[in-house]
Structure formats: structure tokens, C-alpha cells
Amino acid sequence: MGNVLLSVIRRDLLLAFRRRADVLTTLFFFVIVVSLFPLGVGPEMKTLRLIAPGVVWVAALLASMLSLQRLFAADYQDGTLEQMLLSPQPLGLIVFGKIVAHWMVSGLPLALIAPLLGLQFDLPPEALGILFVALLLGTPILSLIGAIGAALTLGLRGGGVLLSLLVLPLYIPALIFGAGAVEAHIAGVSAEGHLSLLAALLIFSGLATPWVTALALRISME
């Protein structure tokens, strides 16, 4: 099973490398949205520090949604998804590999660049570290939950709008705990509680969503 998982991840990373424009679009969107807020709000550092966690997290959430429709679309169009459904390997394992690859090209870059963008909001170094850890825990949750919506809307006309309506409410806990961790640190309170809840949500999502997504794919392909 480990070999199957690695093969799926390697394949999807190779395909993503061939479509670098799609990957860069997500990253540029995140950078532009976060960078526009200091220009619009003004140079008041206290205000910028106050809104920074929410701005970065909302931008990351929206940026991750840009690539969700492409998670299964290419495999659906060329017939690869049908072969995956007929594979003797567990479909949930294959789906998990695709979700991991999706996070590596869409979520991980956002977490890596977020501390640099946080400097625009005058966040202290410790808060930047908390922001990085929160996004490192939270962006996989966005990919895992988003995969369910991508599977349910697969092949539907106007699926992008429906996908947004499905997954945005489910993103709220990750948004609250992720932004709350940074806000708690800035307020002088320990961020461990928020990070622990975020980690628990990640574990639960990692165990449940691949199999729910696999079931949603079977329903969409019928």
C-alpha cells in the first residue's frame, strides 16, 4: 500500500509540474490578496496586527479553493478515474495520495510564504512562527475537506459555485482555530489550545475524508 500511495503522489506531482501555471496562479492570488489589505487599511500598525491572522487565513482559504476543481477533473476527463475505481487497490488510499499531492502543490507553498507576507502587518517573530505552524496544520484540512466537495461536484456544469457553497461552511472551524491561535499569541495568551484543536481536526479529517471522498466519487461516476 505504501508503494501505491507513493506512486499516486509522484504521478500527481509530475502532472502538477507540467501545469506550473495553475500552481503559480494559486500562489500569486494568495500573495496579491494579502498584500492589498495593508494598502487599503492604511499604515496603522496596531490595526494591521489586529486583522493580520484573519486576512492571511481567509486569503489561504480562498486560494486553496482555486485548485480544488482540478483535483479530479483531469482524471475524470481522460478516463483515468474510471481505472482507479476498478483498481484492486483501495480507492480511499488512492484518493488520500491525490489529496497529499494537492496539498504539496497548493497548501504547503502558502504556509511557507505566509510568514514573509506577515511582515507587512508588523507581526512579531513569535507570531509569525505560530502563523506558520497553524497554516501547516490547517492547509491539509482545507485540501481534505475540499476533496469531498470536488468529488460531489465532479462533471457538473457550474460545479465551481456549488463547490464553494459546499465546502465554505465546513472550512469555518479550521479558520477559527487557525486565526485564533495567532490572535491568542498576540493577546498574550497561549496558542496551544487552538493548535491542539487544529491538530485534532487534522487527524479526524485525515482518517475520515479519504473514504468519504471515495464514496462521493463512486456516486458521481454512476
With a CB cutoff of 8 Å and minimum separation 6, the contacts of 92 are 210, 211, 213, 214
pLDDT digits (tens, 9 = 90+) for 113-170: 999 998 888 888 999 999 999 999 999 999 999 999 888 888 777 667 788 888 889 9
Geometric angle at alpha carbon 38, from 111 and 45, rounded to 5°: 100
Quick one: pLDDT band at residue 100, thresholds 50, 70, 90?
very high
Q: What is the DSSP letter of 67?
A: T
Region 89-108: mean pLDDT is: 90
Q: Sign (positive/negative) of CA torsion 164, 167, 169, 173?
A: negative
Cell, residue 81: 478515474
| pTM beyond 0.75 | yes
- Class of residue 50 by CB neighbours under 10 A (exposed 0-12, middle 13-18, buried 19+): middle
Region 53-57: mean pLDDT is: 92
pLDDT digits (tens, 9 = 90+) for 2-50: 788 888 889 888 888 888 777 788 889 999 999 998 888 877 888 888 8
pLDDT at 163: 83
pLDDT at 85: 83
Return mean pLDDT, the chain.
Answer: 88
pLDDT digits (tens, 9 = 90+) for 166-201: 888 999 999 999 999 999 988 888 889 999 999 999
